[in-house]
């Protein structure tokens, strides 16, 4: 961990703090209502707000989780910094791609 990774890690954390709070509320709402897939998709499809909100969330979490993963790999496995960095980037890319795919799946009509 150096200052550059630290700044990205903490900035994405700060961005996500309010996003997570809203997300928890969304979780509570969606699960309590016993919503069907159709119910959910009728709310998300065509919604720019939904896309923007979760787009920001996915971008932030991809960076945040990747850096966190990098720390765990270097500290808890005997992995050297550069190799851990590569795995971490791969993981971040995975989250980014799957995340935006999921957003597309629920937002695009």
Residues that bind other proteins (CB under 8 A): 1-7, 10, 13-14, 17, 20-21, 23-24, 27-28, 31-32, 34-38, 40-41, 61, 65, 68-69, 72, 74-76, 81, 91, 94-95, 98-99, 101-106
Instruction: Select 37 or 48, whichever has its Cβ closest to other proteins.
Output: 37
With a CB cutoff of 8 Å and minimum separation 6, the contacts of 64 are 8, 9, 12, 13, 16
In whole angstroms, give the CA distance from residue 61 to residue 47: 21
Q: Which residue has the tokens 């590569």?
A: 86
Instruction: Select 5 or 59, whichever has its Cβ closest to other proteins.
Output: 5
Instruction: Select 28 or 48, whichever has its Cβ closest to other proteins.
Output: 28
Instruction: Select 48 or 70, whichever has its Cβ closest to other proteins.
Output: 70
> Which of 60, 58, 69, 59 shows the shortest CA–CA distance to 91?
69
Smallest distance from the beta carbon of 19 to other proteins, in angstroms? 10
Smallest distance from the beta carbon of 107 to other proteins, in angstroms? 9
Q: How many CB atoms lie within 10 A of CB 98?
A: 12
In whole angstroms, give the CA distance from residue 86 to residue 81: 9
């Amino acid at each position: 961990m150096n200052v550059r990774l630290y700044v990205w890690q903490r900035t994405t954390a700060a961005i996500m703090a309010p996003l997570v709070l809203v997300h928890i509320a969304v979780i509570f709402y969606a699960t309590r209502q016993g919503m069907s897939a159709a119910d959910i998709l009728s709310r998300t499809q065509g919604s720019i707000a939904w896309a923007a909100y979760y787009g920001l969330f996915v971008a932030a979490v991809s960076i945040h989780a990747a850096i966190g993963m990098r720390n765990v790999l270097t500290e808890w496995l005997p992995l050297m910094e550069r190799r851990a960095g590569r795995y971490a980037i791969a993981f971040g890319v995975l989250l980014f791609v799957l995340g935006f795919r999921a957003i597309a799946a629920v937002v695009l009509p």
